[in-house]
Amino acid sequence: MARMPPPASSLLWRSLRAYQIYGANTDVGKTIITTILCKAAHKLWPGERTAYLKPVSTGPADAADDRCRHIRRFAPDIATKTLFQYDLASIPPDETILAEISRYAAHQAHYGPGWLFVETAGGVHSPSPAGSTQADLYMSLRLPVILVGDSKLGGISQTVSAFESLKIRGYDVETVLLFREATYGNHSYLADYFGQRHDIPVRTVPEPPKLLEDAVSDAAALSRYYDDCSGSAEVQETLSHLDARHEDRISRLESMSAAASEKIWYPFTQQKHLTPEKIVIIDSARGDYFQTFNSQGTATSDAASSNALLQSSFDGSASWWTQGLGHGNPSLTLAAAYAAGRYGHVMFAEAIHEPALAVAETLLAGLKNPRLKRVFFSDNGSTAVEVAVKMALRASRLRYGWGPGDALGVLGLQGSYHGDTIGAMDCSEPSVYNEKVEWYEGKGFWLEYPTVEYSQGVWTVKIPDGMRDLHAGPSNVAYPHLSSIFDVESRESRGEGRFYEHFIRTTLERFAVQGRKFGALIIEPVVLGAGGMLLVDPLFQRTLVKIVRQSAHVFGNTAPGTNSVADDRTWTGLPVIFDEVFTGLYRLGRFSAASFLGVEPEISVHAKVLTGGLVPLSVTAASESIFQAFASDDKSDALLHGHSYTAHPVGCQVALESLKEMQKMEARGDWDWARTAYQRAETESYQDLSAPDHTREGLAWSVWSPELVSWVGGLPTRFVGGVWALGTVLAIRLISSDGSTGYKGSAARAVHAALLQGRVNADSDRSSEPQWNVHSRVLGNTLYLMAGQKTTQETVKGVENLLREVLENTSNRT
Amino acid sequence: MARMPPPASSLLWRSLRAYQIYGANTDVGKTIITTILCKAAHKLWPGERTAYLKPVSTGPADAADDRCRHIRRFAPDIATKTLFQYDLASIPPDETILAEISRYAAHQAHYGPGWLFVETAGGVHSPSPAGSTQADLYMSLRLPVILVGDSKLGGISQTVSAFESLKIRGYDVETVLLFREATYGNHSYLADYFGQRHDIPVRTVPEPPKLLEDAVSDAAALSRYYDDCSGSAEVQETLSHLDARHEDRISRLESMSAAASEKIWYPFTQQKHLTPEKIVIIDSARGDYFQTFNSQGTATSDAASSNALLQSSFDGSASWWTQGLGHGNPSLTLAAAYAAGRYGHVMFAEAIHEPALAVAETLLAGLKNPRLKRVFFSDNGSTAVEVAVKMALRASRLRYGWGPGDALGVLGLQGSYHGDTIGAMDCSEPSVYNEKVEWYEGKGFWLEYPTVEYSQGVWTVKIPDGMRDLHAGPSNVAYPHLSSIFDVESRESRGEGRFYEHFIRTTLERFAVQGRKFGALIIEPVVLGAGGMLLVDPLFQRTLVKIVRQSAHVFGNTAPGTNSVADDRTWTGLPVIFDEVFTGLYRLGRFSAASFLGVEPEISVHAKVLTGGLVPLSVTAASESIFQAFASDDKSDALLHGHSYTAHPVGCQVALESLKEMQKMEARGDWDWARTAYQRAETESYQDLSAPDHTREGLAWSVWSPELVSWVGGLPTRFVGGVWALGTVLAIRLISSDGSTGYKGSAARAVHAALLQGRVNADSDRSSEPQWNVHSRVLGNTLYLMAGQKTTQETVKGVENLLREVLENTSNRT
């Protein structure tokens, strides 16, 4: 199958000190200063190769190579190259420019020790041929920067602003160089400014000689100038500094995993077996990819080593399910920085600020749930769930008149997981996640439920063992495609939910007999995440909510008739909490996962993608009737919960930016490529299977292609148990050869390892081309991959191809 | 007493549309475009007053008023003013410039409806007379911005960078204006760029006519140019847009509290009584001050109203104890933005990134506790405490061989508070904070303890009732000053701790008899925050830790002899947790609060000031022996805790910047003014009271002056029960006239309200001068004030003066 071009990696080789030259403005002397650096590098390291690269020349075609000619003339020992001319008929896309730079730099690195100076065009934000600005275009290369300051009138401002534009994109500006100019003396202000605030050295070179009319004299003067400058102490100090910084960067990368394995206590990790070499060193991240340190690249610490030290690694867990709008997204960065500049953090109790109010409004409007009226902010999914449960329990206790001594539980699904704090843990049944936690005490009852999977050509709703004795039909029900399973209204009208109703009612009636007390129904709508990426039959969850709402007689001693409260404002039976921390906000393709079920909770919990994947923030949205349960003349009846950074402006501003951007993407149809692929596949499937004609198409779609799902689901059943894809999530249940299951299942490990290895069939010329791999997380025997909302079809295709290779190989070995 | 000048407020009046003109570069036509705007405003609103202000002229003295002359000449109906000339002999400090701008603008606002255009000097980062850059200097005024773009070669880059420098300081750029220039066509790129990304309109004016040799013709040409431009559709659209934005801004501020009271569920707030007008609307914040919306200013919605709509409000709770380095701190903003640009968020399990490793290293080094070897990251103090408790309980259970069925408690102090999640709540005894929370179940035992307060000339250690029957001496022990109480080693050597030892041992022995099981000692060192700002006798806490460590025989069934493990690596008795969430990281003047006690915990919890007061982040540092309790061949024995944004790079980078800055401040002696004031006061006190000569001076100091503490402590005891100040914290225990105590105490409310009112003796000319007030939070009868680490002596003095006025008035009324 066709291989996709790997994404552009950040550039780092031990052998090559590569620096990028940015200008604080156009016409500040970038080329002159670069020429000086080239000459000086050659003087100081005469045995090494020094190269100059101009990726895109902004001059007219006939002058395109001017800069290279200039350098060749005055620094004849330097290798020079211009990659693209700006006025070429065909405008090179950004990816092509990056790929060519990578290729050229790799080529230089291969020669052994040397220097590479890459000169940008114009100022930091001058547009590239395709329109993005220099600073955005080159971000992912993460070349350390030499900023050429502006010595002219106004140049202080230009230099500081240029620096800030680079800094907020994660560039490391290693030094500032500018002309020593007497009238304005910018260098002296800048030396203090950058020295004191950023510990960045500012050094100068004399201004170049005035242009002489006689070309020969002019060239001679310039030649003398270059000779003098390249031998000056300041320039030599600059190069020594850059040389040392290069060494420092690599040594730090080399030592980080050892330091981390000594000083970090990792979350959810058995560190006894976490040897340093297993720790992934993330140098930076951009879009869908980490840039990770390739420790094999440093197998030799030979200064001549030309192994690429950084590689692109697809963030296959979407950074623990948080990632939405891509790593290093400049819009989110600016939103965060704006709020930091405008507010810092301001205390929230009895106060309001614009980002908090705006995000609350946007979220309530976006959820389209008429019950939800209020937003409570906290810091993560776990705290937001605790808030939700505190809300629901209080409302139930007051409604049903329970006393402080009455033990209240939650009603939930088996294998649910709602977070790591004790209160959130207590909402789940005992499992590997919590049963060894000393203060864990599961409070509630957790039902079995049917799951959905694709395997061998059919989508199946699998009825669990415990439900079967109530079930007359077959234990597995087949559907032509996922959308037909998600067409819950049609299925309900066809009576498919009646068995679920019966099962749920029977279960609930038992509680009434046992006298058990419940204060909330809490479920993760559609998908149980940490529980193993289980896709639950949406009709079951829908039915569960409905029956619970009809069952006030089971849950409390209300007078007859109060069961009949059935408007969409007041809760009945139990307050319903949807934990959409993982499943909401477009993770499954829709703003709210509740919309898949067609029922509306009283309390909705959101986090993770809420900030587009940048900083922690969570919300618990609630109905007015839940809110009113806390109203009283006694202050201590209030919801006494509130972390110090509640509704921190940075998080709120980023969330606002993220939600609006994702809503725009939906409105613009940015995911139509994925949606239509599924609709097409569904239409085709009608021809194969006689699907009921009232099934609506396109209810369920994924960025992971229907072809992939079909292919994976067709792998031998001894290897793949089932697969599903929805929204940005792909989950593959593998079969463990040793029979291990659950959290300790081992089947996915081989696939995980092969994805991390990257391409499985190494070509002989592999070392010269950029490598990439896929960083994934497994949940027992389930391997999942998760894209962001900005992940392109091309990227998905590339990952799918690698995944196919890996599964094919692994499957054959099994 | 002398009044301090109030801080510069943000500028907003209904009557005055005030805009600040920033240039993307020097020489981009700021004055020309401002002249056009002035003329156009006068044309469109002929009955209103349009004014032009040049705060600082950069020209030479004789040309200083050039710009004003230019405007007077070509827009004769405009009021103009230059405040300062750059080359004046005496350089005006930034505060003076801001104060003069405020005065001038207030003056204009007073005239009734009108416009004010404030032109900055040079580019956005051109230095002000005192050296700070324009964008930093004017930040706190928060005037909305007209950015004059650069139409020259390279101008796209300059305009975008200038915009970013403004944006990351919280400026609202409302429009971009630039010359319509054909060769480079910057305006068309910029119109797309700002329109698509930031929804900011970009409009143009024609280039000014070329300079003519004949002055008369030149003036005539320029005059025609101004006439044409000021009547152009683009300029009129710009002004209409700015007019609408002004209205929108005010309407939004007016409606925010009503919207918030409908849509926000507030933390720790009984909303039944939270009427909209009580909600503080925070427009922005800078340094120690919020800028809050003065709703009284809008009592009249008359467009002519010249009431100031924003006022400075000292952030007296340090934004719920988080604030360290000041609101809107550009260094923290840049740190946050750098990490956002470099990484976004990247998943942390089994991975490492530079900011996480660096902050772990910095923290471990800074704590100077040889026991602490590992850092676990989480999101807030509450989650970090849950992590700490999970750590300690596991270690104890394994050490003492308890089974899963054994109920383990914590040992703590009465009135402690460790956070709002259930697990953290369970670490505290029943109290108003938790007793109504359905799943709360206090797990442990909480001891009484002696507290420290100053009143009527003496510092007193107050022995609580429950300890007295064991105590032979007087119930209160007097000390000459706070440092003598903090000299725990001397006090210990004098035998002052023996009674505590006896009390603690007696308490612990009871548990052995009762068979109660404990898994941790958890205390807030030095100060109990949420429990009521109680200063605990440090000798008591020190003794408690020591005795617990000697009491393995009480806590577990260890073989004889294992008690003797006493190195500083292995824990004995119980793992000791210090919850320094509030008290650590310089809140009390030192990196670690543990250093006041001279004992080292196994587990140390930090949050709040950790990020300097910007974003949520917390750490739980632990000893290696605690860490090893989780090592096993079984993955499920690991610490299965980890929020999605664990160690998020933004938080880590900001924390790194904050910790380093605070360490630098300490090393530089930035707080010496406070420290020496206390040393001086202590030396003087020796002369009054015969203090033991071995008492060391300067152990305890505060930014709140010893004079203030002495004065407050001298107020009538029917009004003030006691006071203390340490580090940045001042706590005043007031006496409630109705006998109410604890969380529901009402005594502090009157003082709180008067501080919020601001100046109590209104001058008749008050409306014309900027007002300011103090926003504080109370804990029952205790009023506390908290400064940041960057708060200056002058600011503290101003707040102290207002506090004295308020206390004097309130005291007289009591």
Q: Which residue has the tokens 């799951």?
A: A451
Q: What digits encode the pLDDT tens for the residues B698-756? A: 789 999 999 999 999 999 999 999 999 999 999 999 998 877 777 677 788 999 999 99
Q: What digits encode the pLDDT tens for the residues A246-266? A: 999 999 999 999 999 999 999
Smallest CA-to-CA distance from A811 within A763, A771, A731, A754 is with A754
For helices A672-688 and A706-713, the axis angle rounded to 10 degrees is 50
Average pLDDT of chain A is 91
The percentage of chain B sitting over the pLDDT mark of 70, rounded to a whole number, equals: 91
- Provide the token pair at A494: 């066809």
In chain B, residues with a C-beta closer than 8 Å to the C-beta of A137 are none
Closest residue of chain B to A361, computed from CA coordinates: B263
Closest residue of chain A to B157, computed from CA coordinates: A125
Work out the minimum CA distance from A222 to partner chain B, whole angstroms: 25
Mean pLDDT over residues B686-690, rounded?
A: 52
Top-level class of domain A330-668: alpha beta
In chain A, residues with a C-beta closer than 8 Å to the C-beta of B331 are 197
Q: How far apart are CA A785 and CA A777, in angstroms?
A: 8
User: Residues near A416 by Cβ (< 8 Å), separated by ≥ 6?
Assistant: A427, A428, A429, A446, A522, A523, A524, A528, A531, A579
Name the more confident of B43 and B690: B43
In chain B, residues with a C-beta closer than 8 Å to the C-beta of A321 are 644
Tell me the three-class secondary structure of A455-522, residue by residue.
ECCEEEEECCHHHHCCCCCCCEEEECCHHHHHCHHHHHHCCCCHHHHHHHHHHHHHHHHHCCCEEEEE
Partner residues linked to A783 by β-bridges: A732, A778
Work out the minimum CA distance from A400 to partner chain B, whole angstroms: 14
- Looking at residue B551, what is its pLDDT? 93
Work out the minimum CA distance from B486 to partner chain A, whole angstroms: 29
Task: List b or e across A660-696, with b for residues whose CB sees 16 or more CB atoms inside 10 angstroms.
Answer: bbbeebbeeebbeebbebbbebbeebbeeeebeeebe
Question: Is B347's CB within 8 Å of A315's CB?
Answer: yes
In chain A, residues with a C-beta closer than 8 Å to the C-beta of B574 are none
Q: What digits encode the pLDDT tens for the residues A625-643? A: 999 999 999 988 999 999 9
Mean pLDDT over residues B221-226, rounded?
A: 95
Q: How far apart are CA B807 and CA B703, in angstroms?
A: 19
The percentage of chain A sitting over the pLDDT mark of 90, rounded to a whole number, equals: 77
Asked if B43 and B34 count as a contact pair (C-beta separation under 8 A), the reply is no
DSSP B714: T
Q: Which helix (H) or strand (E) holds B779?
A: strand B777-779
Between the two ends of chain A, the Cα-to-Cα distance in Å is: 22
Question: Is B270's CB within 8 Å of A638's CB?
Answer: yes
Nearest to B423 among A260, A331, A422 (CB): A422
Asked if A484 and A459 count as a contact pair (C-beta separation under 8 A), the reply is yes
Q: How far apart are CA B557 and CA B129, in angstroms?
A: 72
Q: What digits encode the pLDDT tens for the residues A188-244? A: 999 999 999 999 999 999 999 998 888 899 999 999 999 999 999 999 999 999 999
Checking if the pLDDT of B758 tops 90, the result is no
Name the more confident of A302 and A234: A234
Nearest to B344 among A157, A423, A614 (CB): A614
Work out the minimum CA distance from B264 to partner chain A, whole angstroms: 5
Query: How many beta-carbon contacts under 8 Å exist across A and B?
Result: 582
Checking if the pLDDT of B63 tops 70, the result is no
Beta strands B777-779 and A114-119 are unpaired
Mean pLDDT over residues B318-323, rounded?
A: 97
Question: Is B640's CB within 8 Å of A268's CB?
Answer: yes
Q: How far apart are CA B44 and CA B236, in angstroms?
A: 8
- Looking at residue B342, what is its pLDDT? 98
pLDDT confidence band for B814 (50 / 70 / 90): low
Nearest to B439 among A426, A627, A640 (CB): A426
Mean pLDDT over residues A558-570, rounded?
A: 56
Interface test with B, best of A346, A376, A434 (most B CBs within 10 A): A346
Smallest CA-to-CA distance from A339 within B333, B693, B32, B80 is with B333
Length of chain B: 814
Nearest to B614 among A171, A279, A340 (CB): A340
Provide ipTM, 2 decimals. Answer: 0.96
Checking if the pLDDT of A159 tops 90, the result is yes
Question: Is A264's CB within 8 Å of B356's CB?
Answer: yes
User: Residues near A703 by Cβ (< 8 Å), separated by ≥ 6?
Assistant: A671, A674, A727, A728, A787, A791, A793, A796
- Looking at residue B66, what is its pLDDT? 74
In chain B, residues with a C-beta closer than 8 Å to the C-beta of A133 are 156-157, 160
Average pLDDT of chain B is 91
Checking if the pLDDT of B6 tops 70, the result is no
pLDDT confidence band for A468 (50 / 70 / 90): confident
Question: Is A347's CB within 8 Å of B167's CB?
Answer: no
In chain B, residues with a C-beta closer than 8 Å to the C-beta of A608 are 644
Checking if the pLDDT of B2 tops 50, the result is no
- Looking at residue B575, what is its pLDDT? 97
Interface test with A, best of B138, B640, B656, B657 (most A CBs within 10 A): B640
- Looking at residue B557, what is its pLDDT? 64
Q: How far apart are CA B384 and CA B611, in angstroms?
A: 15
DSSP B680: H
Q: What digits encode the pLDDT tens for the residues A319-371? A: 999 999 999 999 999 999 999 999 999 999 999 999 999 999 999 999 999 99
Question: Is A344's CB within 8 Å of B323's CB?
Answer: yes
Question: Is A344's CB within 8 Å of B331's CB?
Answer: no
Nearest to A443 among B171, B380, B439 (CB): B439
Question: Is A422's CB within 8 Å of B422's CB?
Answer: yes
In chain A, residues with a C-beta closer than 8 Å to the C-beta of B352 are 256-257, 259-260, 264, 279-282
Tell me the three-class secondary structure of A607-665, residue by residue.
CHHHHCCCCCCEEEEEEHHHHHCCCCCCHHHCCCCCCCCCCCHHHHHHHHHHHHHHHHH
Work out the minimum CA distance from A527 to partner chain B, whole angstroms: 17
Give B218: exposed, middle or buried? Use CB within 10 Å, 0-12, 13-18, 19+.
Answer: middle
User: How many Cα neighbours within 13 Å face the side chain of B105?
Assistant: 32
Q: Which residue has the tokens 């089932």?
A: A722
Interface test with A, best of B126, B255, B261, B266 (most A CBs within 10 A): B266
Asked if A501 and A471 count as a contact pair (C-beta separation under 8 A), the reply is no
Between the two ends of chain B, the Cα-to-Cα distance in Å is: 22
Asked if A602 and A578 count as a contact pair (C-beta separation under 8 A), the reply is no
Residue type at position A431: S
In chain B, residues with a C-beta closer than 8 Å to the C-beta of A272 are 631-633
CA distances to B37, B48, B116, B159, B232 from B239, in Å: 8, 14, 12, 21, 11
- Looking at residue A61, what is its pLDDT? 53
Q: What digits encode the pLDDT tens for the residues A731-764? A: 999 998 877 777 677 788 999 999 998 864 444 4
Smallest CA-to-CA distance from A412 within A545, A582, A557, A509 is with A545
Closest residue of chain A to B378, computed from CA coordinates: A267
Tell me the three-class secondary structure of A91-106, residue by residue.
CCCHHHHHHHHHHHHH
Nearest to A272 among B165, B438, B631 (CB): B631
Question: Is A361's CB within 8 Å of B263's CB?
Answer: yes
Q: How far apart are CA A732 and CA B760, in angstroms?
A: 69
Domain ranges of chain B: 16-250, 330-668, 702-813
Q: How far apart are CA B170 and CA B164, in angstroms?
A: 10
Nearest to B616 among A330, A616, A630 (CB): A616
Work out the minimum CA distance from B446 to partner chain A, whole angstroms: 18
Give B437: exposed, middle or buried? Use CB within 10 Å, 0-12, 13-18, 19+.
Answer: buried
In chain A, residues with a C-beta closer than 8 Å to the C-beta of B777 are 347, 349
Mean pLDDT over residues B339-346, rounded?
A: 98
Work out the minimum CA distance from A722 to partner chain B, whole angstroms: 25
Nearest to A344 among B161, B328, B381 (CB): B328
What are the two backbone dihedrals, phi and then psi, of residue B356, each rounded to the nearest 5 degrees?
-65, -45
Asked if A305 and A312 count as a contact pair (C-beta separation under 8 A), the reply is no
Work out the minimum CA distance from A139 to partner chain B, whole angstroms: 8
Partner residues linked to A778 by β-bridges: A783
Q: What digits encode the pLDDT tens for the residues B591-637? A: 999 999 999 999 999 999 999 999 999 999 999 999 999 999 998 89
Q: Do domains A16-248 and A330-668 have the same CATH topology?
A: no
pLDDT confidence band for A694 (50 / 70 / 90): very low
Nearest to B270 among A260, A348, A632 (CB): A632
Beta strands B114-123 and A782-786 are unpaired
- Looking at residue A294, what is its pLDDT? 86
- Looking at residue A68, what is its pLDDT? 79
**In the sheet where B618-623 sits, what is the strand order?**
B372-378, B618-623, B603-606, B576-579, B518-523, B409-413, B444-447
3-state percent breakdown (helix, strand, coil) of chain A, nearest 5: 40, 20, 40
What are the two backbone dihedrals, phi and then psi, of residue A416, each rounded to the nearest 5 degrees?
-65, 155
Superfamily of domain A16-248: P-loop containing nucleotide triphosphate hydrolases (3.40.50.300)
Checking if the pLDDT of A695 tops 90, the result is no
Q: Which residue has the tokens 């400075």?
A: B312
Nearest to B265 among A159, A374, A435 (CB): A374
Sign of the CA dihedral running A315, A318, A320, A324: positive
Work out the minimum CA distance from A478 to partner chain B, whole angstroms: 35
Question: Is B643's CB within 8 Å of A317's CB?
Answer: no
Question: Is A648's CB within 8 Å of B616's CB?
Answer: yes
Checking if the pLDDT of A564 tops 50, the result is no
Nearest to B643 among A386, A393, A420 (CB): A420
Question: Is B343's CB within 8 Å of A263's CB?
Answer: no
Checking if the pLDDT of B454 tops 70, the result is yes
Mean pLDDT over residues A562-585, rounded?
A: 82
Question: Is A26's CB within 8 Å of B632's CB?
Answer: no
User: Residues near B358 by Cβ (< 8 Å), separated by ≥ 6?
Assistant: B652, B656
What are the two backbone dihedrals, phi and then psi, of residue A753, each rounded to the nearest 5 degrees?
-65, -40
- Looking at residue B768, what is its pLDDT? 46
Question: Is A169's CB within 8 Å of B281's CB?
Answer: no
Superfamily of domain B16-250: P-loop containing nucleotide triphosphate hydrolases (3.40.50.300)
Give A643: exposed, middle or buried? Use CB within 10 Å, 0-12, 13-18, 19+.
Answer: buried
Give B812: exposed, middle or buried? Use CB within 10 Å, 0-12, 13-18, 19+.
Answer: exposed
Closest residue of chain B to A427, computed from CA coordinates: B439
Ramachandran sector of residue B463 (left: φ over 0; alpha: ψ -120 to 50; beta: rest): beta
Nearest to B627 among A161, A265, A282 (CB): A265
pLDDT confidence band for B569 (50 / 70 / 90): confident
Range with the lowest mean pLDDT among A22-26, A679-683, B358-362?
A679-683
- Provide the token pair at A376: 């409570």
Superfamily of domain B702-813: Aspartate Aminotransferase, domain 1 (3.90.1150.10)
- Looking at residue B700, what is its pLDDT? 93
Q: How far apart are CA B181 and CA A539, in angstroms?
A: 62
Question: Is B349's CB within 8 Å of A268's CB?
Answer: yes
Work out the minimum CA distance from B318 to partner chain A, whole angstroms: 8
